Structure 1
Amino acid sequence: MTERSAGEQKRLLLIDDDPNLILLVKDYLEFRGYEVITAENGREALEVLEDDIPDLIICDVMMPEMDGYSLVEHVRKDPRTSWIPVLFLSAKGQSQDRVKGLNTGADVYMVKPFEPEELVAQVEASLKHGERLTKRKDRGPDDGPKIHVPFDVELTPTELKVVQYVARGMANREIAEGLSVSQRTIESHVSNMLGKTGLHNRTELARWAIENSMA
């Protein structure tokens, strides 16, 4: 498995079944200093991830063999890849499409066509956020004893997305706005996760998510 130090060139995995888009986006990102590896669909991307862990995944939603939703579910379930920021690209721009993408586990949802500069800005913001989470996780021993929960706890894709936002320090109201649902819905998800894990509050929930590479 390929690993790089923090100071090395950032590597991005770009997944799309449109060769013209692959070419254009790859060239633009490489011009901005990124290393870009590519795949034509989700199944091919999983093969890439067996040997190479990128710093960020940029993924089309509608693809043959395995679509973006299925790919992200695989990525989030694997501890090796669960931390990787995922940026969805999609021609579907309706609110329900964005909500589905975010609930599935994507961090950013961009609608085609998009401005290249906006894509670069989203990539840079996602990478910086990932670095902040990594630094916060590395400080775990200074924050108190490791959080312990039952080994067989399973979160739904929506709960996983919510706990990632909780780990970022976002309030229920902010999470609700980000996912386009009611605050009561988010409160229900948080309550369910506290019940599943046996944890006492959002702070412990956030620490558990970070220590277990879910955020």
Structure 2
Amino acid sequence: MSEKQQLLLVDDEPGIRESVQAYLEDNENWIVTAASNAEEAWQSLENKVPDLIVSDIMMPQVSGYEFLAKLKEDPRYRSIPVVFLTARGMTSDRIQGYEAGCDAYLSKPFDPEELEAIVKNLLSKTKVNTKKGGNSSAELEKIAKELVEIKAKLDDKLGTSNGITVTPPPIKIDLTPREQSVLDLVAQGLMNKEIARDLSTSVRNVEKYVSRLFGKTGTNSRTELVRFALQHGLTQ
């Protein structure tokens, strides 16, 4: 039996929030957590990383745009698909939403079946990307926490022992400039799609570079690769 997928719904209108939550929860494969504003949603994120977020745009204090911008700035959450729900349905509004980084834009009033179809499609794409070598949001959060622990341990090892500075053993691995760039971005927690965008290349090329890095470092996963790179000074 597959693990249920986590959805986070953010909307300040109680009626819409409750009805959308009830409809989405009819799908037995989804667990829906509801938040009445962006601040409450962020607190929920800190406790449990969802597989997808459905958010209103026009909310008090912090708008959906501002909430999305904050998500994109955090390596732990930037890969989470975001669906915007809004009463503003002009073409210019949709363009603004997509330029902000949302994955889908649905104008109110909307057909719940259309929302369900969008959610299913985005979750399916995320699952495929993860199988191809990307990271789920939960995995990115785990990697981020492991990086903090690894860096802390390395700081201890690079400290002093009996007044003598300890230096890690050198290691020589020949990386091309592009392989180094990919490695640095992997260490930042970026997914293949994001790396491809930053380096102006294709996702397939990024996958090839990541595979080469696995071979050169003798690692089998992105977490092992980042751990190896940090331990041997291959990235900062």
Calculate percent identity across the aligned residue pairs.
36
Query: Which ranges of 4 or more aligned residues in structure 1 deviate by more than 2 Å?
Result: 144-152, 203-208
1:14 aligns with 2:19: no
CA distance in 1, matches of 2:73, 2:205: 18
The one-letter code sitting in structure 2 at the alignment partner of 1:37 is T
Residue 22 of structure 2 is aligned to residue 27 of structure 1: yes
CA offset digits 1:2-21 (Å, max 9, x no partner): xxxx9211110000000000
Distance 1:84 1:138, change over 3 A: closer
Q: What is the CA distance between 1:207 and its match in structure 2?
A: 2.2
Aligned to 2:206: 207
**Post-superposition CA distance 1:152-181 (Å, at most 9, x none):** 9xxxxxxx9xx65x95xxxxxxxxxxxxxx
TM-score (norm 2): 0.60
The equivalent position to 2:44 in structure 1, one of 39, 45, 48, is 48
Q: Deviations over 1:55-76 (max 9, x none)?
A: 1000000101211001111111
| Structure label with greater radius of gyration | 2
Q: Equivalent residue for 2:59? A: 63
| Structure 2: tracts of 5 or more residues without a match | 136-174, 211-221, 223-236
- Matches for 1:2-151 after TM superposition, within 5 Å: 7-33=2-28, 34-137=30-133, 147-149=179-181
C-alpha separation in 1, matches of 2:108 and 2:37 = 17
Paired with 1:104 and 1:74, the residues of 2 have a C-alpha distance of 11
How far the C-alpha of 1:204 sits from its partner, in A, is: 6.7
Say which SS state the counterpart of residue 202 (structure 1) adopts.
coil
- The separation in 1 between residues aligned to 2:114 and 2:91, in whole angstroms, is 19
Whether contact under 8 Å (1:86, 1:107) holds in the other structure is: yes
Q: Report the CA distance shift for 1:75/1:206 in structure 2 as closer, same or farther (over 3 A).
A: farther
In 2, Cα distance between the equivalents of 1:204 and 1:129? 14
- Distance, in Å, in 1 between the alignment partners of 2:65 and 2:86 is 11
CA distance in 2, matches of 1:71, 1:103: 14
Q: 1:22 touches 1:38 (CA, 8 Å); kept in 2? A: yes
Structure 1 unmatched runs, 5+: 1-5, 153-159, 168-189, 195-200
Alignment deviations for residues 27-65 of structure 1 (CA, whole Å, 9 cap, x no partner):
111112221101111111111111110010000001012
Q: Residues 23 and 103 from structure 1, CA distance in 2 versus in 1: closer, same or farther, beyond 3 angstroms?
A: same
Paired AA for residue 21 in structure 1? I
Provide the rounded CA distance (Å) in 2 between the counterparts of 1:51 and 1:149: 32
Q: 1:35 to 1:206 in 2, by over 3 A?
A: farther
Q: Spell out the pairing of 1:160-175 with structure 2 (5 A cutoff).
A: none
- Distance verdict in 2 for CA 1:147–1:137, change over 3 Å: farther
CA–CA separation in structure 2 for the residues paired with 1:23 and 1:44: 16
Letter matched to residue 92 of structure 1: R
| Aligned residues of 1:147 and 1:207 also touching (Cα < 8 A) | no
